[in-house]
Structure formats: C-alpha cells, structure tokens
Amino acid sequence: MPRVITIASGKGGVGKTTVTANLGIALTRLGYHVCLVDADVAMANLSLLLGMHSSPITLHDVLLGEASVQDALYEGPEGVKFIPSGLSLENYRRVDTERLGSVVQSIAPMFDYVLLDAPAGIEKNVLSSLAAAEEVLLVTQPTSASIADVLKIKITTQRLGAKPIGVVLNFVLREKGEVSEDEVSKMLELPVLGIIPFDDEVRRSFMQEKVSPVVVRKPNAPASLAFAKAALRVAGKPVESVAQEKAGLIQSLLNSFRSLFGKPR
C-alpha cells in the first residue's frame, strides 16, 4: 500500500523542504520507491534544493489541466522521483490546489511513499496539501512558538480527516531553553520520529555551485545520520540498523586492511 505523507509545520522556515528532500532520499536508500511533490505552489523551491533546475512541465500545468502528471514526473538524486512546482506567478494565480488530492492519488500506486512539501501558514493551499494525504508528518523547531504553530496544523489535519503520524524536531542544538523531545511529544501527543541537529552542512549543501541535499553531499554529517534514522522510524524499522551499518562498514574496512597488511599488533 502506498503511503502519502504531507510534511507540514505552520511556521515558515523550520525545514519542511529540507526534511522532504533528505527524508525522501533516505527512504529511497532503504529500497523504497519514493516521489516528492512540491505542494508549495507559490514559493516552489524543492527542485532547487534537489539540485534540479530544468523542469519545463510542472505541477502548475497539471493542476491547470494542461499536462498529464506523468509529464511532470522527473528523476532526482539517487533515483528519487519528484514533481516540481512552477515559478511563474501568473500560473500560480490561476492554479487551483483543490485538485491536488486527485493528482497525488493518481500517481500513488506507482510508489511506496509520496511525500508532499507543504507551504507555510494555514491558508487554502496548506489545507489542500493536508487534505491530499492520509498521513501528516509535522516539522517543528524545539521552541514554544514553533510548537504552538505546529499544534494548529495537527488539529487542522485531524479535522480534515488525515492522521498526524509524528514530529520531526529540526534545528536541534541541545541548548538550555530548548523544549525537550519528551516535552514536545507530550505537548503534541505524538511520537518524535526524527531529531535533526542544527548542522551547517545542511545550509552549505544549498550553497554549493552544484546543489545537492546534505544526505547526498555529506552522508556522514550529523544531520544526514539523523535523516537516516528518521527514515527508519517513519518506515517502522528498527533504528539500531544505522549504527550496525556503520559498525559493519568499519569492520569490513578493518578486515580489508588486515588482509592487505596482516594482523595489526
């Protein structure tokens, strides 16, 4: 059964697009077929973050009934598929996101996961993104203001008949004054599925000449390892396997050194 999950936050700039791209690629690495949809039809930037610049046909054209969804489907890093939104303001004004749900449902059977990158706020296009999915993953910073906004999104999600499945805490610094993981979980009555540290590599990945998400550019950066864990949690798999994979990699490197140079004393 495909899982359609909207990534939403209420508050702007907390990392929805970053989470969509990196979590999507992390799920692809687990062997799932994943499609990312840029549901931020006004301020599209998912494709830029994926490092993909040329997408002549977009979600705008599909929502306007001027192109088929298949024509707006592109391949991104590591085989993740994505549907970009258009940059034209004129088309944006004409677009009606009420059709988003049916567009998404038409491609869902081709994938294990469809992740929708929602816009900020709680306006009509946000409601369309929440209503287009069966599940919603909330992104928040560990601050009261961000959590208050995400609570509104949680309540709205439930009113629209979708299921909030959990929270991703982003920009975590583990500093005094931050709301702890347990407190967030209690306040929102949801499990914390990801704890993504503040990591300058995330921002740097976006500033390279050739942009690529941090999980691709720096797979061992703290944020990348955290995205790998979050993908396991979202998929309902045991999280130890990230550590095991790393231990396995180190062991196999040691073994090859040993076979080359003999047993170290």
Write out the residues near ligand ATP by the rule CB under 6 A.
9, 12-18, 40, 43, 120, 170-171, 196, 198-199, 202-203, 206, 223
Asked if residue 194 lies in contact with residue 232, where contact means CB atoms within 8 angstroms, the answer is: no
Distance of closest approach, residue 49 Cβ to ligand ATP, in angstroms: 7
How many residues lie near Mg ion (CB under 5 A)? Answer: 2
Q: What 3-state class would DSSP assign to 36? A: strand
Q: Which is nearer to Mg ion, 12 or 79 (CB)?
A: 12
Q: Is 51 labeled as ligand-binding? A: no
Q: What 3-state class would DSSP assign to 35? A: strand
Alpha helices, H only, 95-210:
100-107, 124-131, 144-159, 181-188, 200-207
Q: What 3-state class would DSSP assign to 260? A: helix
Q: Which helix (H) or strand (E) holds 58?
A: none
Query: If contact means CB under 5 to 8 A according to the sort of partner, which of ligand ATP, Mg ion, none does residue 80 touch?
Result: none
Q: Is 136 labeled as ligand-binding? A: no
| Degrees to nearest 5, angle at CA 55 with 131 and 78 | 80
Only one of the segments 15-23, 30-38, 190-198, 247-255 lies at the binding site for Mg ion (rule: CB under 5 A); that segment is 15-23
The yes or no reply on residue 85 touching Mg ion (CB under 5 A) is no
> How far apart are alpha carbons 164 and 5 in whole angstroms?
9
Cα 212 to Cα 13, 59, 66, 169, 231, distances in angstroms? 18, 22, 30, 22, 18
Q: Give the residue among 93, 155, 96 at the shortest CA–CA distance from 130.
A: 155
Distance of closest approach, residue 116 Cβ to ligand ATP, in angstroms: 12
Q: Is 15 labeled as ligand-binding? A: yes
Q: Is 81 labeled as ligand-binding? A: no
Q: Is 121 labeled as ligand-binding? A: no
Q: Is 157 labeled as ligand-binding? A: no
Only one of the segments 12-20, 97-105, 162-170, 186-194 lies at the binding site for Mg ion (rule: CB under 5 A); that segment is 12-20
> How far apart are alpha carbons 129 and 101 in whole angstroms?
8
Q: What mask, x for binding Mg ion by CB under 5 A, covers residues 17 to 36?
A: x-------------------
Q: Which is nearer to ligand ATP, 103 or 150 (CB)?
A: 150
Q: Which helix (H) or strand (E) holds 34?
A: strand 34-38
The yes or no reply on residue 16 touching Mg ion (CB under 5 A) is yes
Residue located via tokens 């369309």: 128
Q: Which is nearer to Mg ion, 132 or 232 (CB)?
A: 132
Q: Is 28 labeled as ligand-binding? A: no
Distance of closest approach, residue 239 Cβ to Mg ion, in angstroms: 26
Q: Is the dihedral of CA 137, 46, 119, 179 positive or negative?
A: positive
Distance of closest approach, residue 94 Cβ to Mg ion, in angstroms: 22
Q: Residues within the annotated binding site for ATP? A: 11-18
Residues of the shown chain interacting with Mg ion in the complex, contacts defined by CB under 5 A:
16-17
Q: Residues within the annotated binding site? A: 11-18
